[in-house]
Structures are given as structure tokens and as C-alpha cells.
Amino acid sequence: MVFLNTQFIKKDQACISVMDRGFLFGDGVYEVIPVYQSKIFRLNAHLKRLQKSLDSIKIINPYTFNEWSYILTKLVNFSSLSNQSLYLQITRGCDTQRQHNFAKLTPTIYIESNPLTPKSKSILEQGFNAISREDIRWGRCDIKATSLLANVLYVEQARQQGVEEVILFRGKKITEGASSNVFMLKDDTLFTHPAGGNILSGITRDLVISSAKACQLSVQEVAFSLADIRRCEGLWISSSTREIMPITLLDGATINQGKINQHWHCVYDYYQQLKYD
Ligand code: PDD
């Protein structure tokens, strides 16, 4: 079952108009929300970020917090899976003809649920590969917009190279991954690019920061460079679906001699425990 504009229907019956601005312009925003043991994880934070994205592109939020919570919970309960990933998208809606300027339209709301299978700790401990590329995206990466062409092309490069993620840099500064935030561990301090137009402020990013503090790590929201990474003790990516993943090989060079730093274990374990609080 999926949710489309006030209704729960079968996915193969869900249709939208070719005049939908989401289809024509990628004119919409979205959220990806994890569900563990049938409980929606950090719903508040996700709906807050959704509100910010909607405000940024001038779409009026069609539902209240309680209404969203009711719809999402109902969708979660349609599935027998206890771990799920909810995909929620709101586009500006359907116009009468394709035109860049927009009038006040009725937003199109679409939600689906997919299985969520986070990698086990023993798999994560083996470490993952990444490549770095110049960040060619626009300056409003803080909006969780459905227009993701650059990200899609990065992910295709990652697939071609057989790596987990593409880590992006603007000038000397690492911004984030193609679909994740990036952290560097150095001298018992965790660094990550500050929030703002150059990154999506991840919900998992916030949880990594609070988990790191609980693990007595100092956290600095300060950008770091590819040169810093060469001498670091750990490189991690984070997202709602990948959680906290250690990168041990970047552009073919090992990070921290391929070893997972002990701080990752503490932060990872702390995060896992938050999921079932
Ligand atoms: N993406 N940065 C980018 C560019 C992302 O696409 C994502 C997540 C994140 C991490 O955000 P969060 O911790 O809230 O998941 C950072 C989702 C998972 C996606 O597009 O599927």
C-alpha cells in the first residue's frame, strides 16, 4: 500500500498527472524516515526538517504534525515488516500548462514504505570504499529537494567504480556525500561540515554529534579537507538508511591504515541504543 493524496491505495494503481510540477521540474521536497520495530524513528526531527524545506520553496504544509503521524503510522502498520524506510514526497502540484512561474496549487503528496535492512556491525567493521569528486551542486543543499540530478550522477559514478559513496568537496572543503553526511576523526575530535546551504543537515548527523559527545568526543562543526583526511584516524558517513558507516579506503588510499578507530564502536553502539529507547 502507498499513500497518494488523501488515499491509501495499491502502488500499481498510484498515478499522477503529467502536469505535476514534480514531474516537470522536480519542484518538490522529500523525507526518508527510518522505522525500527514498527516505531517511527525521530519523527519530530524529520517533520521539522520537512517544514523547513516546504517553507524554503513556498509550499504550504498540507498536514499538521498529528495528521502526518496518523498517516505514517497507518502506512507502517499495513506492512508486516518491523524495519522500514518511509519515503515521503510533496510536490507543488498540477498546473494547466508547463510554465516556470507558479500559482497556488494543491500539493501532491506521495508516501511509500520500503524494507530497511541496516548492515550488521560485523559487516560495517570491515570498512567501505569511497571516491571524492568536486561538488557541482547548487547553493541550497539544505533543502531536501527531489531535484537530485547531480546526486544521481555521483551515485552512478560510485556504482561504476564499485564504491559505497562519493565524497564531495567544494574548493578545499569536504561538504558531504552524494546521499550522506561526512565526519572525520582526528586527535579525539570529530569534525563535520557546518550546517548551511552547502549540506543537507542530516537527522543522523545530529544523532552522530550527540552520540559522539556522549562518548566523550569533542565535536567541531568545522570543515576539513582531503589533505586532512590523509592524516586522520577515521572517516565516517551517516544517513537514515546507512546509519554510521566507516570509510577505510578513499580514492584508493587507506584511512587510518584501514583500521576502525575505537571511537566508532562507542558512537555506533550509542546510536543503536537510541533506536530502541
Ligand atoms: N539521503 N546529505 C544528503 C545529500 C542526503 O541525501 C542525505 C540522506 C543525508 C543524510 O540525511 P539523514 O541523516 O537525514 O538521512 C545527507 C536520504 C537517505 C535519501 O536521499 O535517500
CA distance 221 to 176: 12
Q: For atom 5 of ligand 1, which residue has the closest CA?
A: 179
Cα end-to-end span (Å), the chain? 28
Q: For atom 3 of ligand 1, which residue has the closest CA?
A: 179
pLDDT of residue 250: 98
CA distance 273 to 201: 22
Quick: pLDDT tens for 251-273. Answer: 999 999 999 999 999 999 999 99
DSSP 50-71: HHHHHHHTT---SS-HHHHHHH
Query: What global pTM score does this model have?
Result: 0.97
Q: Is 32 in the pocket of ligand 1 (CB under 6 A)?
A: yes
Are the CB atoms for 254 and 202 separated by under 8 Å?
A: no
* Same-domain check for residues 202 and 243: yes
Share of the chain above pLDDT 90, in %: 99
Q: Is 201 in the pocket of ligand 1 (CB under 6 A)?
A: no
Distance 198 CA to ligand 1 centre (A): 13
* Same-domain check for residues 202 and 81: no
Given the residues 74, 119, 121, 144, the one annotated as active site: 144
Distance 206 CA to ligand 1 centre (A): 12
For residues 175-184, give the mean pLDDT.
98
CA distance 193 to 224: 7
Quick: pLDDT tens for 192-211. Answer: 999 999 999 999 999 999 99
* Same-domain check for residues 150 and 245: yes
pLDDT of residue 277: 83
* Same-domain check for residues 126 and 207: yes
Q: Which helix (H) or strand (E) holds 46?
A: helix 43-56
Q: Is 202 in the pocket of ligand 1 (CB under 6 A)?
A: yes
* Same-domain check for residues 50 and 104: yes
* Same-domain check for residues 247 and 165: yes
* Same-domain check for residues 133 and 179: yes
3-state helix, strand, coil in the chain (%, to 5): 30, 30, 40
Distance 97 CA to ligand 1 centre (A): 32
* Same-domain check for residues 108 and 217: no
Domains of the chain: total: 2
CATH number at 95 reads 3.30.470.10
For residues 229-245, give the mean pLDDT.
97
* Same-domain check for residues 190 and 97: no
Phi, psi of 15, deg, nearest 5? -130, 145
Distance 96 CA to ligand 1 centre (A): 32
Range(s) of the domain holding residue 19: 2-115
Q: Is 186 a catalytic residue?
A: no
Residue 242 alpha carbon, nearest atom of ligand 1: 18
Q: Is 89 in the pocket of ligand 1 (CB under 6 A)?
A: no
Quick: pLDDT tens for 8-42. Answer: 999 999 999 999 999 999 999 999 999 999 999 99
CA distance 13 to 4: 10
* Same-domain check for residues 258 and 175: yes
CATH number at 231 reads 3.20.10.10
* Same-domain check for residues 78 and 132: no
231: how many CB neighbours lie within 10 A of its CB? 11
Q: Is 180 in the pocket of ligand 1 (CB under 6 A)?
A: yes
